[in-house]
Amino acid sequence: MPLAAVFDTNILFSAAGWRGNPFQCVERARAGEFPVFTCPELMEELAEKLGTRLHFSADQVAETLADYLGFLQVIQIPKALTAVCRDPEDNMVLECALRAMRNTLSAEISTCWS
The helix (H) or strand (E) run that includes residue 65 is helix 58-69
pLDDT for 102 beyond 90: no
Q: Looking at beta carbons, which pairs linking 16-19 to residues 24 or more positions away fall under 8 Å?
A: 16/50, 16/54, 16/56, 16/64, 17/54
Instruction: Centre a 10 Å sphere on the Cβ of residue 38 and count the other Cβ atoms it contains.
Output: 25
CA distances to 8, 20, 55 from 94, rounded to whole Å, are 9, 24, 28
Going by pLDDT thresholds of 50, 70 and 90, the confidence category of residue 92 is confident
Q: Which CATH superfamily is domain 5-107 in?
A: 5'-nuclease (3.40.50.1010)
Each domain of the chain, given as residue ranges in start order, spans 5-107
Give per-residue pLDDT as tens, 62-91: 999 999 999 999 999 987 767 666 777 778
Those residues whose C-beta lies under 8 Å from the C-beta of residue 63, and which sit 6 or more positions away, are: none
Read off the amino acid at residue 39. C
Tell me how far apart the alpha carbons of residues 20 and 74 are, in angstroms, rounded to a whole number: 24
At 113, is the pLDDT very low, low, confident or very high (cuts 50, 70, 90)? low
Yes or no: say if 77 and 90 are a contact pair by the CB < 8 Å rule.
no
- Note the pLDDT tens digit of each residue in 30-64: 999 999 999 999 999 999 999 999 999 999 999 99
pTM of the model: 0.85
